[in-house]
Amino acid sequence: MIQGYGIDTSSTAAFALSVLPILLVGLRTTILAMLAGFAIALVVGLAFALLRRSPLAVISWPAAAAIEFLRNTPLLMQLFFLYFVLPEYGIVLPAFWTGCAALGLQYAAYMSEVYRAGIEAIPKGQWEAATALNLTRARTYGVVIIPQMVPRITPAIGNYLVSMMKDTPILSTITVVEMLNLASRIGDRTFEYLVPLSMVGLIFFVLTSLCSLALRGIERIIPTKGISLQ
Amino acid sequence: MSMLTYLPVLAEAATTSIMVSCLSLVVACALSFAAGIPLYSGPAWLRGIALVYVEIFRGTSLLVQLFWLYYALPLIGFSMPPLLTGVLALGLNSGAYGAEVVRGALRAVPGQQHEAARALNFSGAHTLWRIILPQAVPEMMPSFSSLAVQNLKDTSLVSMITIADLTFKAQELRNLTQDSVTVYATALLLYLAMALIFIGVLRFMERRIKVATGRSA
């Protein structure tokens, strides 16, 4: 991956400039992993939340146990588990997708709590009105509950997106070539860890700041009183 | 192989994880208040330092901070043993999140409390110590609990800087035995058990603090 890029160690500034294009290659992986993991977390998290609310104990208990397990064990161990155990059952995924799955699953467990709080915050009258209108359970969720939930849960979900981004360097442990992995490689090669690692820190700082700004913007755009359905 | 085969080795390594977690929580707790109180009310220069600290450690990734302290810091002349590096990185990271919790809880104390303290001629420090903090600390506890569990989970990252914690030993055992499923499942269950114990202890502390500050019904 470092091939094709020259590294100039003549001065600190030149070194920093020459490693920047390499790190930006890693940045692409970081962002892709964040987005893929986030997509998984959004969908699986909602599934977890709905399963946990199921009136059947056979469904809600295992869901609750799975959520607690995923929430209370380290991402790194879950990642190793997926990376080394899945192939034994014949599921061979590229390291990148294993990483996204691990990120997505852990954050799905976090987000299921957000969804749950969001669902519970909906006034009871909304459920009763949906029943009075003879809406099915699926339609109640689809057109009444979830649209009202979205503005309430956006800030919390946004924070999880940012913290998921900060967790992506963990993927470097299973050989995903993202920013930290590249910085370490540059360090191993030049014996200069200070500049590449500081640059990674700086890029992360800029990224989290940008994300926080963008999220604040989105929170302002999303209507707070629910979304009107024609 | 059964899980029991690996349990003694992994349980011993788990004590290292717990030690790293507890030590870094002490650092984090001290830093939370040291940075959180100036963020709430402090001289501008102190608030500036606290703000820079909090923003840097909340804005970058823990693993990057850990690698930075481990690989980069010795190059500018500060060499530390791995254990100290791990404890410091975790403590600094959790402390930055904790500082925000402290600031939030201090802000949540109603303004009348300040007015009443002033009416009674309390000094600034006395107000903070006698009036504001006793009301704010119970409010901080739930957030501190979740930060502490997060901290415990994050200790798995110190395996990356050669500390022989639970994750490190699990990796070692797996490489030795190639028995991924059992080794990792045992390690994961140990982490779960530790987290659940942590949560229990913190709930207990939360209750005690409520009693001590006269907030329990």
- Parse chain A into domains and list their residue ranges: 12-221
- Structure-model confidence comparison of residues A219 and A60, the more confident one: A60
In angstroms, the separation between the Cα of residue A10 and the nearest Cα of chain B is: 17
Q: Which amino acid is located at A78 in the chain? A: Q
What's the mean pLDDT in A41-63?
93
Buried b (16+ CB within 10 A) or exposed e, A188-198: eeeebbbbbbb
Which tokens sit at B191? Answer: 């982490």
Chain B: residue whose CA lies nearest to A89: B181
User: What is the per-residue pLDDT across B33-65, written as a single tens digit (0 to 9) for each?
Assistant: 999 999 998 899 999 999 999 999 999 999 999
- Answer whether B125's CB lies under 8 Å from B106's CB: no
- 8 Å CB contact of B61 and A194: no
- Structure-model confidence comparison of residues B10 and B1, the more confident one: B10
pTM of the model: 0.90
- 8 Å CB contact of B180 and A84: yes
Which residue in the set B58, B180, B192 is minimally distant from A72, CB to CB? B192
Q: Residue written as tokens 């057109």?
A: A143
Residue A181's pLDDT is what?
A: 92
Please identify, in words, the CATH class of the domain defined by A12-221: mainly alpha
- Answer whether B39's CB lies under 8 Å from B105's CB: no
Whether the predicted pLDDT of B149 surpasses 60: yes
In angstroms, the separation between the Cα of residue A143 and the nearest Cα of chain B is: 33
- Structure-model confidence comparison of residues B192 and A149, the more confident one: B192
ipTM tops the 0.95 cut: no
- Answer whether A34's CB lies under 8 Å from A161's CB: yes
Which residue in the set B59, B171, B174 is minimally distant from A208, CB to CB? B59
Q: Residue written as tokens 């903070």?
A: B128
Residues of A in contact with B76 (CB under 8 A): 194
Residue B216's pLDDT is what?
A: 62
Chain A: residue whose CA lies nearest to B68: A197
- 8 Å CB contact of A172 and B184: no
Longest dimension (CA), chain A: 75
Which residue in the set A69, A172, A197 is minimally distant from B72, CB to CB? A197
Segments in A121-145 forming alpha helices (H): 124-132, 137-139
What's the mean pLDDT in A28-55?
94
In angstroms, the separation between the Cα of residue B90 and the nearest Cα of chain A is: 14
Q: Which residue in A158, A153, A131, A157 sits closest to A144, CA to CA?
A: A131
How many inter-chain contacts (A to B, CB under 8 Å) are there?
A: 107
- Choosing among 1.10.3720.10, 1.10.10.10, 3.20.20.220, 3.40.190.10, the CATH entry for B3-212 is 1.10.3720.10
- 8 Å CB contact of B188 and A78: yes
